[in-house]
Structure 1
Amino acid sequence: MKRLSVLVVLSLFSASPAFAQACKAVSADGKPLAGAAKTSHMKKCCEDNAKSAEGKALSGAAKKSSVDKCMKG
């Protein structure tokens, strides 16, 4: 039983980067965005990537929390 629990914990740590999708605010020429363009791009990107661990789209308070966390990061 201990082996199974250790295996599950380790697999969660190794899978967590796959769930985290990095949103980078850069223009088509590769220059960083600023101001309203950056905010708009980040919000859209964070909303598109608001998914549960099973890959299903979040809604309601869970989506808002995920988007807020993404916007800070």
Structure 2
Amino acid sequence: MASDQLNELDRAAEDKPPLTLAKATIDAPASPAPAATTVENNRPWEQTSLIGKVFIALGGLLTVASAARMFIA
């Protein structure tokens, strides 16, 4: 078969219609009224679990100990 002749794959590719983009719309529901929140409820420290607070405290102690060791040496 010569290179300028179409084979079965080329013919199959020609028969397909061109690709088009799909159109979609998103109907977002109306957002409910925001709940009455205060600054106290949104603090990260209050949302942190007990084990998270323990890890933060231990990490802080290790950091301070490492810094003290560097200044002493």
TM-score, normalised to structure 1, is 0.29
TM-score, normalised to structure 2, is 0.29
Greater relative CO (CA pairs within 8 A, separation 6+): 1
Larger Rg: 2
Structure that is richer in helix per residue = 1
